[in-house]
Amino acid sequence: MRGRARHHTSMNLKIFAILAALLSSAAFPQKRPVTLDDVDKFASRAAPAPVWAPDGSRYAFESGGRVHLYEISRRAAKELASLAPLQAAAAKGAPAAPFQWENRRVREARLQWTPDGTRLVILASGDLFLMDVPSGQWRQLTATAAAERDPKVSPDGKSVAFRRGNELYVLDIASRKEIRLTHDATDTLWNGRLDWVYPEELDLGTAYWWSPDSKALAYLQFDVSRQMIYPHGDLQPVAPVFEPQRYPKAGTPNADVRLGVVAASGGATRWMDLGETRDHLIGRVSWRPDSKALLAQRLNRVQNRLDLISADPESGAAKLVLRESDPHWVNLSSDLRLFKDSRRFLWSSERSGFRHLYLYAMDGKLERQLTSGNWEVSEVVCLDETGGGVYYTSTEASPLERRLYRAALDGSGRRVITPEAGLHRVSMSPGCGHVIDAYSSLSEPTRRVLRGPEGNTIAELDPPDRRPVEELDLLPVEILPVKAQDGETLYARLIRPAHFDKSKKYPAIVMVYGGPHSQAVQNSWRGASFEQALAHRGFVVWQLDNRGSTGRGHAWEAKLFRRFGKQELEDQQTGVQHLVGMGFVDPARVGIHGWSYGGFMTLYAMLHAADTFRAGVAGAPVTDWRNYDTIYTERYLGLPSENPEGYRESSPVHFAANLKGRLMLIHNYQDDNVLFQNTFQMMVELQRAGKLFDLMIYPQKTHGVTGLAQRHMREAILAFFERELR
């Protein structure tokens, strides 16, 4: 029954998208084809993140170098102040800081409210400022040569903590008196500073936390001395610049991490006794609301066991609250919510096969399960203690969608808050009184609205950008169900070429990612995408979510366990067979392209499915999984010493001699995620095997290609497929 319902959902999406496109085309006959210029011009840009005031009555945001304030009562935003004077006032003339590889996922607050909701603490050009919200007047809190990083206002609003270099400090806002809290940092011992891999693979955005009573700070100390060093360098200057990165590869030492507590007034650090931590990961830290305990989430190295541990900040003594274990791996979440009375907490778990919500007493005793079913809770959005409910997003309506729901804490039921079909990305105010909902579908561009707690629309914040719809011939995007070899339903996205003629045979490009924690095929707006430009050049564009993708339950994802590539390729080939079977694709002219894990999948497909794929463009590919980081790789493949065959069979570098089609490798020289070393090693093996290939290297770029280089890359990819698939 469930399979049929999903099939009808996808067919309805397909028909609706086609009709909408046809009607739109009839209304605007002057529309023009999508070009690479349009892909750049209409690139979607994320809306500024709202910074909610403590009472939820307004929110601040930064846009265009200015601070703005949205007042819910007025249903309008106003400009508060320009950041330019603050940036100009920030200290200058400091010597150039040594290059540091800060992970892009580190979350540093540039705007923060004081608890009384009257002032904002602002980080601008490395210095801290205090702005009066009614007037927009500001005063400078710090003026130092070294930058202040990751500032946090204390819960009582009297102080702001920050990191400078590798040490933690607290500043009294009224007097501007500064206290240094830690004193033992070195180049390899970091207090309150994350290493590269923790934010990348555990999604941990900070390494210190204020106690709710403002009397202490908990922090992680990272000893990275045992981590491998990768020798990045900038070769553009006449004198090349050495930019080493601490990068722990699979099977090599992680940072040694411990959790400590230090008084906000200074003094010695009390270290929490969490047991052996050398081969463990501290993935989350939370203070209990009464400030009498810390809750740490600790994973073992291969991440098949997660312990929730309660630690006494005074003595450091710790005890186990609950344990999650799994024969494959445990996915860490950010769903823990602690009740204000410190007697209960909300927890999410995949123990049933799908992530659901559970209510626990603080001693670890389960009170009740709040959600259930063959669908996933995607994220806890807000705990409404006063109203007795929890807001969360989930896949209940469809694995292709995310909507906002509310479940009662007494287990009496749940209801949908955002009923519109599509993908909803939401932010709720403190107290759960208001929702900012950014949502879209295949046929409707993203719109941002302000809602009440029951989902009623209060105001439209950003009208959808309809310029691409009105100016461009956006081709219909279809979502199709595909039966896998074992009968499971896969979902694929299809764009047919402009001026489609079903009697013709077209070349096709398979866009692929294929890795865990990702979902490409969703009921969401794509707009003037690169895929649209390819379709306007005469290509069928196809993308399929294989087993291992997110949104379909843990068993679906765990198909990748201890072996990358095999299951994914089997599903991708099934998708191509389905596509060819529709009758308008030339099976001899199928290409494949992906980036990162998708680059790996492209290489893997070119070396293991030469009869399916004629040409491939592999961007930033992992070519030997021993080159990738510890936390990600070991979660899925285990340790190299314990699964050598799985590592070998998953690594394209060992199969270079299998290449038959045309291959293009693309990599950024200073990629801090998938190291350029991967492509270097692949080049060596391809040359040893006598295989010709194309190569494009982008200097001074990390994992993503941006700016003019991105346009250059798209031109190169298009030219390659024009040459090889025509």
Residues annotated catalytic, as ranges:
596, 671, 703
Which amino acid is residue 432, in one-letter code? C
CA 192, CA 530: separation in Å to the nearest integer?
Answer: 40
**CB neighbours of 481 closer than 8 A, spacing ≥ 6?**
6, 7, 10, 11, 489, 490, 491
CB neighbours of residue 24 within 10 Å: 18
Helix axes 566-581, 597-608, angle to 10 degrees: 70
CA 461, CA 68: separation in Å to the nearest integer?
Answer: 13
CB neighbours of residue 38 within 10 Å: 22
What the block records as the tokens of 291 is 């400030």
- What element of type H or E holds 20? helix 2-27
CB neighbours of residue 691 within 10 Å: 16
Concatenated DSSP letters of 363-411:
TS-EEEE---SSS-EEEEEEEETTTTEEEEEESSS-TT-BEEEEEETTS
CA 298, CA 45: separation in Å to the nearest integer?
Answer: 36
> How far from chain centre, in Å, is Cα 184?
33
CA 144, CA 128: separation in Å to the nearest integer?
Answer: 10
**CB neighbours of 659 closer than 8 A, spacing ≥ 6?**
606, 607, 610, 686, 689, 691, 693
CA 544, CA 490: separation in Å to the nearest integer?
Answer: 7
**CB neighbours of 41 closer than 8 A, spacing ≥ 6?**
528
For the chain, the straight-line distance linking the first and the last C-alpha, in angstroms and rounded, comes to 43
Q: Look up tokens 């700016």; give the residue.
A: 707
**DSSP strand E in 429-475: where?**
435-440, 447-451, 457-462
> 11 in helix, strand or coil?
helix
DSSP letter at 497 equals P
Sheet holding 506-511, edge to edge: 477-483, 489-495, 540-545, 506-511, 585-595, 615-619, 662-668, 694-698
Instruction: Answer yes or no: are the C-beta atoms of 21 and 476 closer than 8 Å.
Output: yes
Sheet holding 178-180, edge to edge: 148-153, 159-164, 167-172, 178-180
> How far from chain centre, in Å, is Cα 50?
18
| Per-residue b or e along 479-512, where b marks 16 or more CB atoms closer than 10 Å to that residue's CB | bbbbebeeeebbbbbbbbbeeeeeeeebbbbbbb
> Per residue, what are the HEC states of 67-112?
EEEEECCCCEEEEEEECHHHHHHCCCCCCCCCCCCCCCCCCCCCEE
Instruction: Answer yes or no: are the C-beta atoms of 577 and 481 closer than 8 Å.
Output: no
Instruction: Answer yes or no: are the C-beta atoms of 571 and 547 closer than 8 Å.
Output: yes
**Burial of residue 111 (number of CB atoms within 10 Å: 0-12, 13-18, 19+):** buried
What the block records as the tokens of 554 is 């843990």
Q: Which of 442, 435, 436 is nearest to 462 (CA)?
A: 436
